[in-house]
Amino acid sequence: MSNAVEFERVSRHFGETRAVDSVSMQVEEGHFFAMLGPSGSGKTTCLRLISGFERPESGHVKIFGQNSEAVPPNRRPVNTVFQDYALFPHLTVRDNVAYGLMVKGADKSTRHRQADEMLELVKLTGFGSRKPGMLSGGQRQRVALARALVNKPRVLLLDEPLGALDLKLREQMQEELKSIQNQLGITFIYVTHDQGEALSMADRVAVFNEGKIVQEATPREIYERPRTHFVANFVGSSNVLSPTLSVQSGGPSRWMSLRPEAIRLCDPSNSKLKGTLQNIRYLGASNRLSIRFGEEELSVSLPSTEVAPEKGVQVGLTWEEGATHVMDEDH
C-alpha cells in the first residue's frame, strides 16, 4: 500500500523552540493514524505542515509521493476539522456544509444535494435548515466533519475535534468517526492528547514528546510494549520498575514496564515482590492500589468486586511471565 503522507527529517522551529525536530514518519493510505502527545509536543505543528499552514525549515513533507512545499493549502488534497468547529453562525447547517463547494463554483442544487448526503452520513438528516446556534456541541462537531468531507479530501486532518465534548458523547463520537473512516476508506490523521482516543480508533499511533516521535506502532504494541519511560507513563500509566526492583522480582537489571492490571495480589511468602499497601482509590469498575517498596511505589488495578486488604498491611505481588517489558534507558 502506498503512503498518503510522508515526513522526511522534517523540522519546524519557532525562535529557540524546536516545535518539530527532525521528524520522519509514514502514513499509509487508508489508515487511521493518530498523533498522540502532551500539549506542546509538536503534533499540531505536524498537522499544519501537512495542511500547508506551516512550512518546514528542513526536510520534506510528501503527500501521495509529491513534495508539498510549493503547493498552497487550497491545492492540497486535504481538509481539516478543528476543535472549535469554526462554523459560520449566520449560515444554515446546509450552507455551512456546502461552503467549500460554493467557493469552488458548484451550482446551488449540486452543493445542496452533496451537503445533504454528507449530513446523512453524519446522522444529521433533517437538520439542514437550522442554524449552528440551535445545535448541541456534538451536532456542531458533526456539521464540521460533514463540511470537511463534502470536498472529498484524500486525507482528513482532525485537530483534537472531540476535546470540547463530555465523556459519554466523546466515546460515542469515537465510534462514529472510526465507522465513517471505514465506510469512506480515506486517510484520517488525528491529533489528540487523550490516549484512550488514540488507542481505540487508530491503526497506527505516533507518540510525540518535545518535538520528536518517541515511538510509532500499533495501539496494542504502544500499550503493551512501551519503548521508553515517557511512553509507559503517558499511555495508560504503566508501572516503571527500576533495575533494582526488577532484580528483586527475579528479572534482569534493566528498566521494565508492568501494567497495573497485570499484577495479582498473593501471599507474601510466595510472591515476586513484597510491599506495604499505602492507599486505595475507588475508580468505579476497579480499585487502584498503591504498594510501597522502600523509595519506590507500584500501582495495582483490581476489580472493585474483589475485596482489598487493609491499608498498612504487607502484601505480595505476582504476575504472569511475559507481563514485564524491557525498555530503553532513555526516559
pTM of the entire predicted model: 0.90
Q: What is the CATH number of the domain that holds 301?
A: 2.40.50.100
Q: Summarize the confidence of residues 240-255 as an average pLDDT.
A: 92
Q: Which of 233, 260, 275 is the last residue of a domain?
A: 233
Q: Render the burial of 106-124: b for 16+ CB within 10 Å, e for the rest.
A: beeeebbebbbebbebbeb
Q: Does 221 lie in the same domain as 92? A: yes
Q: Determine the Cα–Cα distance for residues 284 and 18; give it in Å rounded to an integer.
A: 41
Q: Does 153 lie in the same domain as 193? A: yes
| Beta carbons of 92 and 130 less than 8 angstroms apart | yes
- Crossing angle, helix 137-149 and helix 167-184, to 10 degrees? 20
3-class DSSP state of 59: strand
Query: Amino acid identity, residue 289?
Result: L
Q: Does 173 lie in the same domain as 270? A: no
Residue 22 domain-assigned? yes
Lowest mean pLDDT among 53-62, 127-136, 199-208, 303-312: 303-312
Q: Render the burial of 206-230: b for 16+ CB within 10 Å, e for the rest.
A: bbbbebbbbbbbebeebbbbbbbbb
Cα torsion 158, 160, 162, 168: sign: positive
Q: Summarize the confidence of residues 147-165 as an average pLDDT.
A: 90
Residue 164 domain-assigned? yes
Q: Does 89 lie in the same domain as 188? A: yes
pLDDT of residue 182: 92
**Counted domains in the chain:** 2
Q: Summarize the confidence of residues 9-37 as an average pLDDT.
A: 96
Residue 135 domain-assigned? yes
Q: Does 106 lie in the same domain as 72? A: yes
Q: Does 266 lie in the same domain as 222? A: no
Q: Does 225 lie in the same domain as 283? A: no
Q: Does 276 lie in the same domain as 145? A: no
C-alpha dihedral, 14 to 17 to 21 to 26, nearest 10°: -60
Q: Does 248 lie in the same domain as 223? A: no
Q: What is the pLDDT of residues 100-109, one digit of tens each?
A: 899 888 999 9
Lowest mean pLDDT among 11-15, 169-173, 241-245, 316-320: 169-173
pLDDT of residue 331: 52
Q: Which of 198, 233, 268 is the last residue of a domain?
A: 233
Residue 133 domain-assigned? yes
328 has pLDDT over 90: no
Q: Summarize the confidence of residues 179-208 as an average pLDDT.
A: 94
pLDDT of residue 330: 58
Q: Which of 233, 267, 284 is the last residue of a domain?
A: 233
Residue 127 domain-assigned? yes
Beta bridge partners of 35: 191, 206
Q: Which DSSP category does 307 fall into?
A: P
Residue 285 domain-assigned? yes
294 has pLDDT over 90: no
Q: Which three cell numbers stand for residue 76?
A: 492540497
Q: What is the pLDDT of residues 38-73, one digit of tens each?
A: 999 999 999 999 999 999 999 999 999 999 999 999
164 has pLDDT over 80: no
Question: Which of 30, 24, 60 is CA-nearest to residue 42?
Answer: 24
Q: What is the CATH number of the domain that holds 200?
A: 3.40.50.300
Q: Does 301 lie in the same domain as 166? A: no
Residue span of the structural domain in which 212 resides: 3-233
Q: Which DSSP category does 134 fall into?
A: G
Q: Determine the Cα–Cα distance for residues 189 and 212; give it in Å rounded to an integer.
A: 17
Residue 331 domain-assigned? no
Q: Does 225 lie in the same domain as 260? A: no
Residue 152 domain-assigned? yes
Q: Does 270 lie in the same domain as 158? A: no
pLDDT of residue 125: 93
| Beta carbons of 161 and 83 less than 8 angstroms apart | yes
30 has pLDDT over 90: yes
- By CB atoms closer than 10 A (0-12, 13-18, 19+), residue 51 is buried
